[in-house]
Structure 1
Amino acid sequence: MKLEVDQCLSAWIASIDPRFQSEVDDTSLEVTGSEYLGTNLSIVKVSCKGSVKSILARNPQDLFSFGISDVGLFRGMAGNREIFSNPQRLAFILLPGESIKLAPAAEFFSGYIFHIKSEYLLSESIEHGTQLPSLLTLHDAIPGHEQLVLACANQLLKFFALGDEVGSLRVLQPLEESIVSLLATLISVEPDVLVSGKQAQSQPSYVQIALSYMENNISENITLSDLCIACSVSGRTLQVAFQAVMSRTPLQVLQELRLNRLRDKIINGMDISSACEEVGLQHSGRISAKYKQLFGELPRNTRSRRTRS
């Protein structure tokens, strides 16, 4: 099928997948493709023809994604990792929330993009016996397995296009499970668990990613699972990192962050109920008590002092 670029949220990376947000600096690009939408896995095969300087995309916060090149060459960056495509080889992986920038070296290129819920993939890896799984390890683990992944992917794309429900039960689900199971078994333990010297280097980065996620989503309901997905680490690893860096748990830090933002908003003139809503808190006696414990006064006292001044 032919797709208009202005209907696409990305060329090649996600041209027919609305879960990506991206920008293309040349709307003359012609994009064609097909897709498979499964229970836990989705696949997009995209071909692009035309002149384009660069392609930008951001991975959603809940997905692990990777691309395998088919035809054509490109360079770029995925997260902080340099990438260079080779036909039938892994081109990139994208952790949840990471950005990618591609610079095509040819006017025609194509490839496959795979999306899977990061929380599900991590849980499957744990089921396979990896207690501290790291999605980043797939960057080095997938190479060498591309042909098996592509063989399953092509069958999934083919049968999905036929719309055969019986075939879906008989063929699609086992093929999808083959890819998911392969990825789950390829995931390794986190490098910082193996090398204590690297642990100290990795922990601050996990904390910083989690803090950025808290800041950007402070009005939303944030769970420990959300933070683990954002950091692409297990709950235990994130807990250990926060204890090592901040001597508190992630959720304790989140509450303190919200209370600090609440205080800022009250000082700047916002009423207490509205300020609580904007920072993801419910105006209650318990929150007022936590506020007093942290700042030595109740929210209404902060409000009164601000009004008098």
Structure 2
Amino acid sequence: MHATPDLFSHPMIAAANFHQLATAFLCAFPTNWLEAGEGRSGGSTVVRLAIDFMSAHVAEPITMTDVANAAFVSTRGLHAAFTRERGETPMQYLRRVRLDAVRADLLAGGADVTVAVVARRWGFAHLPRFAERYRRAFGERPSETLRR
């Protein structure tokens, strides 16, 4: 089967081909320049890329692998860089950001706002575990925050 040249000029095909080529290149020639690279903020490029990705996808069901891929490192490298620079794992950071978002939504309140809906909106599917983490983070139950 022969592909037409027009097929390869399609933006989605070109982007997929570029991504595959870049991935193959990075696998063939591993580097650690991202881990060592310091930016203006003093943090590594890896951590900045990870935080940017998590911020853009905070309400989505993202995994450690998703974050590591966005930062162009292994999950182990991401975990090490994050822990070294921020004193917490990437998933702890994401959970904290999500808890802050839940708190802001609960404080904003509204007649039709419920703890369950807000928690699920920010990625907390297991409500008892969410409630316990919320209480540990803020010293009160989510329902108490909502009643304010």
TM-score range, shorter chain: 0.7 to 0.9
Of structures 1 and 2, the one scoring higher in RCO (CA 8 A, sep 6+) is 2
Aligned residues: 139
In the alignment, which residue of structure 1 is the partner of 2:30?
Answer: 188
CA 281–206 in structure 1, closer or farther in 2 if over 3 Å, else same: same
The CA distance in 2 between the partners of 1:227 and 1:206, in whole Å, is: 10
TM-score w.r.t. structure 1 length?
0.40
Report the CA distance shift for 1:243/1:115 in structure 2 as closer, same or farther (over 3 A): closer
Whether 1:231 aligns to 2:81 is no
SS of aligned partner of 1:188: coil
Q: How far 1:296 moved relative to its partner? A: 0.3
Secondary structure, aligned partner of 2:20: strand
Q: Which amino acid aligns with 1:16?
A: H
TM-score normalised per structure 2: 0.77
Return the match for 1:116 from 20, 29, 36: 20
- Match 1:218 to one of 58, 66, 80: 58
- Percent identical residues: 26
Which segments of 5 or more consecutive residues in structure 1 lack a partner in the other structure? 4-13, 19-41, 45-58, 64-112, 122-179, 194-198
Could you tell me how far apart the structure 2 residues matched to 1:205 and 1:292 are? 33
What is the deviation of 1:191?
2.6
Structure 1: 4+ residue segments shifted above 3 A: none
Per-residue CA deviation, residues 188-247 of structure 1 (Å, 9 max, x unaligned), is 231366xxxxx3726533222212211221221110000011111111221111112210
Q: How does 1:34-73 map to 2 (within 5 A)?
A: 44=14
Larger helix percent = 2
Say if 1:214 and 1:254, in contact at 8 Å, map to a contact too.
yes
| Residue in 2 that maps onto 1:17 | 11
Aligned pair in 2 of structure 1 residues 192, 207: CA closer, same or farther (>3 Å)? Answer: closer
Tell me if the contact between 1:273 and 1:283 (Cα under 8 Å) persists in the aligned partners.
Answer: no
Larger fraction in strand: 1
CA offset at residue 260 of structure 1?
Answer: 0.7
| Cα distance change on mapping 1:117 and 1:214 into 2, 3 Å | farther
In 1, are the aligned partners of 2:54 and 2:94 still within 8 Å (CA)?
Answer: yes
Task: Report the equivalent of 2:140.
Answer: 297
| Mapping 1:165-176, distance limit 5 Å | none
Corresponding position: 1:249 with 2:89? yes
